[in-house]
Structure 1
Amino acid sequence: MTISARTTREDGPQRSTARAAAADRSLRSAGDLIAAGLVAPAHRAALDRVAERYAIAVTPDVARLIDPADPHDPIAAQFVPDSRELDRQDVERDDPIGDLAYSPVEGIVHRYPDRVLLKIVHVCPVYCRFCFRREMVGPKGLGTLSAEALDRALAYIAARPEIFEVILTGGDPLMLSARRARALTRSLAAIDHVKVIRWHSRVPMVDPARITVAFAQALRAAGKAVYVAVHANHPREFSPAAEAALGRLADAGIVLVSQSVLLKGVNDDAETMAALMRAFVANRVKPYYLHQADLAPGTAHFRTSIAEGQALMRQLRGRLSGLAQPTYVLDIPGGEGKVPVGPDYSGPGEVTDYRGGRHRYPPEAIEEP
Structure 2
Amino acid sequence: MIYDKEQKEIASRMDNKSKLTNWKDWKWQLRHAIRSMEKFEQLTGIKFDDKERVNLRKTFDKFPLSITPYYLSLIDKKNYKNDPVFKQAFGGIEELTTLQSELEDPLSEDKDSPVEGITHRYPDRVLFHVSNICAMYCRHCTRKRKVGDIDSVPSKDQLNQGIEYIKNTPQVRDVLLSGGDPLMLTDEKLDWLLSEISQIPHVEIIRIGTRVPVVLPYRITDKLISILKKYQPLWINTHFNHPNEITTSSKEALAMLADGGFPLGNQSVLLADVNDCPRIMKTLLHKLIQNRVRPYYLYQCDLSEGLSHFRTPIGKGIEIMESLIGHTSGFARPTYVIDAPGGGGKIPVMPNYIISWSTNKVILRNYEGVITTYKEPDSYEARVCDRDCDICTLDLNLNEDSEMEAVGIEKLLSDHDDTISLVPEHNDRLHRRGENE
TM exceeds 0.5? yes
Contact 2:213–2:220 at 8 Å: present in 1 too? Answer: yes
SS at match of 1:100: coil
Distance, in Å, in 2 between the alignment partners of 1:291 and 1:91 is 18
| Shift, 1:123, TM fit | 1.3
1:4 aligned partner: none
Q: Which ranges of structure 1 fall in alignment gaps of 5 or more residues? A: 1-15, 364-369
Q: 1:37 and 1:78 mapped to 2: Cα distance? A: 16
Whole-angstrom distance in 1 between the partners of 2:233 and 2:157 = 27
The aligned counterpart of 2:260 is 252
Q: Which residue of 2 aligns with 1:9?
A: none
- 1:77 maps onto 2:84 in alignment: no
In the alignment, what sits opposite 2:271?
A: 263
Q: Runs ≥4 in structure 1, deviation > 6 angstroms?
A: 16-19
Query: Contact (CA 8 Å) 2:56, 2:91: kept in 1 or not?
Result: yes
Deviation at 1:145, TM superposition (A): 1.1
- What letter corresponds to residue 363 of structure 2 in structure 1? E
Cα shift readout 1:214-248 (whole Å, capped 9, x = no counterpart): 102212345x4101100010011011111101111
Is the Cα–Cα contact under 8 Å of residues 262 and 303 in structure 1 kept in the other structure? yes
Looking at structure 2, the residues matched to 17 and 66 of structure 1 have their Cα atoms a distance apart, in angstroms, of 11
Measured in 2, the distance between the counterparts of 1:59 and 1:198 equals: 25
1:295 is matched with: 303
Match of 2:151 in 1: 142
The residue number in structure 2 matching 1:3 is none
Q: 3-state DSSP class of the match of 1:84?
A: helix
Q: Which residue of 128, 136, 143 corresponds with 2:138?
A: 128
- 1:219 aligns with one of 220, 228, 246: 228
Query: Which one of 184, 190, 202 corresponds to residue 175 of structure 1?
Result: 184
Q: Distance in 1 between matches of 2:347 and 2:10?
A: 49
For residue 5 of structure 1, what is the aligned residue in structure 2? none
1:54-80 deviations in Å (ceiling 9; x for gaps)? 121111111111001112101111111
Q: 1:301-316 to 2 correspondence within 5 Å?
A: 301-316=309-324
Higher mean alpha-carbon deviation, 346-355 vs 122-131, is at: 346-355
- Residues 1:326 and 2:339 aligned together: no
C-alpha distance in structure 2 between counterparts of 1:266 and 1:160, whole Å: 41
RMSD: 1.9
TM-score (norm. length: structure 2)? 0.76
- The amino acid across from 2:142 in the alignment is F
Question: Over residues 238-270 of structure 1, what are the superposed CA-to-partner deviations in whole Å (9 max), with x where a residue is unaligned?
Answer: 111111011111111111111100111111111
Pair 1:89 & 2:82 matched: no
For residue 382 of structure 2, what is the aligned residue in structure 1? none
- Measured in 2, the distance between the counterparts of 1:191 and 1:40 equals 54
- Deviation, 1:192, is 1.0
Of 45, 63, 73 in structure 1, the residue corresponding to residue 72 of structure 2 is 63
| CA separation of 1:236 and 1:18: change in aligned 2, threshold 3 A | closer
Distance (Å, rounded) in 2 between the aligned partners of 1:270 and 1:19? 38
For residue 31 of structure 1, what is the aligned residue in structure 2? 38
Work out whether 1:101 is the aligned partner of 2:114. no
State how far apart, in whole Å, the 1-side matches of 2:70 and 2:163 are. 34
Q: Which residue of 2 aligns with 1:352?
A: 365
Larger radius of gyration: 2
Task: State the partner residue of 1:155.
Answer: 164
Do 1:19 and 1:35's aligned partners in 2 also have CA atoms closer than 8 Å? no
Contact 1:18-1:35 within 8 A present in 2 as well = no
CA distance in 2, matches of 1:175, 1:105: 22
Within 2, Cα distance between the matches of 1:279 and 1:38?
Answer: 30
Aligned to 1:47: 56
For the residues of structure 1 that align with 2:229 and 2:342, how far apart are their CA atoms?
Answer: 34
What whole-Å deviation, never above 9, does each CA across 1:336-363 have from its counterpart, x for those lacking one?
A: 1111012121131321211233323339
**Residue 205 (structure 1) shift:** 1.5
- Between 1 and 2, higher relative CO (CA 8 Å, sep ≥ 6) is seen in 1
> Are the aligned partners of 2:98 and 2:305 in contact in 1 as well (CA < 8 Å)?
yes
Aligned residue number for residue 20 of structure 1: 13
Residues 294 and 17 (structure 1), Cα distance of their counterparts in 2 relative to 1, 3 Å cut: closer
Structure 1 residues 311-344: Cα deviation after superposition (integer angstroms, max 9, x where no partner): 1100111331001000000000011111101212
Who is 1:210 aligned against? 219
Is contact 1:31–1:44 with CA below 8 Å preserved after alignment?
no
Q: SS of the counterpart of 2:44?
A: coil
Alignment: residue pair count: 347
Tell me, in whole angstroms, the C-alpha distance in 2 between the residues paired with 1:107 and 1:254: 25
Letter in 1 for 2:266: S
Partner deviation per Cα, 1:29-66 (whole Å, 9 max, x = no partner): 22222222265331222111111111211111111110
| Distance across 1 between alignment mates of 2:96 and 2:45 | 20
Mapped pair 1:118 → 2:111 = no
Output the CA distance in 2 between the equivalents of 1:73 and 1:187: 42
CA distance in 2, matches of 1:217, 1:335: 36
Write the distance in 1 (CA, Å) between the matches of 2:12 and 2:307.
Answer: 28
Quote the offset at 1:156 in angstroms.
0.5
1:331 and 1:278 mapped to 2: Cα distance? 25
| Change in CA separation of 1:136 and 1:17 when aligned onto 2, cut-off 3 Å | closer
2:3 — aligned with what?
none
Q: 1:141 Cα shift?
A: 4.4
Contact 1:189 1:221 in 2 (8 A): no
Q: In 2, are the aligned partners of 1:226 and 1:255 still within 8 Å (CA)?
A: yes
- Deviation string for 1:164-206 (max 9, x for gaps)? 0110001011101222111111111111111110000000121
